[in-house]
Amino acid sequence: MTACIVGWAHSRFGKLEGETLEGLIVKVATDALDHAGIGPDDVDEIVLGHFNAGFSPQDFTASLVLQADDRLRFKPATRVENACATGSAAVRQGIRAIDANAARVVLVVGAEQMTTTPGPEIGKNLLKASYLPEDGETPAGFAGVFGKIAQAYFQRYGDQSDALAMIAAKNHKNGVDNPYAQMRKDFGFEFCRQESEKNPFVAGPLKRTDCSLVSDGAAALVLADTSTALKMRRAVAFRANEHVQDFLPMSKRDILAFEGCEQAWNQALKKAGVTLDDLSFVETHDCFTIAELIEYEAMGLAKPGEGAKLALDGTTAKDGRLPVNPSGGLKAKGHPIGATGVSMHVLTAMQLVGEAGGIQVPGAKLGGIFNMGGAAVANYVSILDRIR
């Protein structure tokens, strides 16, 4: 355990009228430092997670964090990107700076502003996270990519529409009590299960309730080395932080296996010296409900083709054996690309210090996080443990 989370901040996610990317970044950076009880002079390095890919005309954004306070001037600041796992890539870069003794305190910010982009352009921007020679003409954009994955899963294992609807309903129910969530409405299983004018099919067997939201938002956290963290107000340690990158073309792998996700989980659990049974909850990457279903299998909760059982029998409900996405996940919370991975770490830290409010998992001791970029291409797993 070389790095700890010692402070954080989180904006509301959604269509944030009148907000700017710069404003979002500045607000969470300022609030995270305040929450950690430190000033800009204490920061040794800054990492910004910002996907962009056409969402913002300002493409050189690392120094926008410096707008939070003039005292951040001349600090090293870098923007990182790894598709939908951009936020976790930023977290990992901060951890590695601490591991290398190159920094004692790192400010990590993740941010994205998506809703100001016209709808057709949003689809094109997101599709850039796939392998364009194979998937560049996919109807319905990135939803179409996961629609093909869902169709292939159904062909191999049978129709899993009930399970997908249960995952959507679970996450929307959880999101009701998350003050940061974009959609705080309990739609119920029947609404998520049935095609309707308000819940049409989007791609393959995926309906609107199976797809995460287009969002604006930002989150930030302050990392410190363990000895520094133990002198601060709170310390949530990384028992593990693993990154596994897989092939970009889906044709080069079994896309229903999410092998990169499986590898990342195996490495993280081994590094932390724990099993899935030791975890109190998991925040996982439900960009589409089929992704959460396959992730149950990749992380080892179920055998291949049997993930649906966990959704249907309540294992992953908030009061189940292993709650998955007590925050509401990307499905209800929203998915501002660059902010998502940082948000997952912030909300997990909040759970472990007992400050998660209505989404609190009682007695949470150990939290797992899985954040992925593309279709299981960039795979990041963290296991967090409160030590102060």
Q: So which residues are the catalytic ones?
A: 84, 335
The number of CA neighbours under 13 Å toward the Cβ of 25 is 27
Cα 283 to its chain centre, rounded Å, is: 7
Provide the H-helix boundaries in the chain: 21-36, 86-99, 119-127, 132-135, 141-157, 161-175, 188-193, 226-229, 259-272, 289-298, 307-312, 329-333, 337-352
Amino acid at 68: A
Residues 274, 222, 371, 248, Cα dihedral to 10°: -120
Cα 224 to its chain centre, rounded Å, is: 21
Cα 106 to its chain centre, rounded Å, is: 20
Amino acid at 81: E
Measured at the CA of 179, the angle between CA 207 and CA 23, to 5 degrees, comes to 95
CA distance linking residue 26 with residue 109, whole number of Å: 9
Count of residues for the chain? 388
β-bridge mates for residue 382, sequence order: 241, 369
CA distance linking residue 298 with residue 293, whole number of Å: 9
CA distance linking residue 29 with residue 377, whole number of Å: 29
Place of tokens 């796992």: 85
Amino acid at 358: G
Sign of the CA dihedral with 73 first, then 78, 83, and 88 last: negative
CA distance linking residue 14 with residue 335, whole number of Å: 9
Amino acid at 308: A
Residues 6+ apart with CB under 8 A from 160: 150, 153, 154, 290, 293, 308
Of 74, 146, 184, the residue nearest 294 (C-alpha): 146
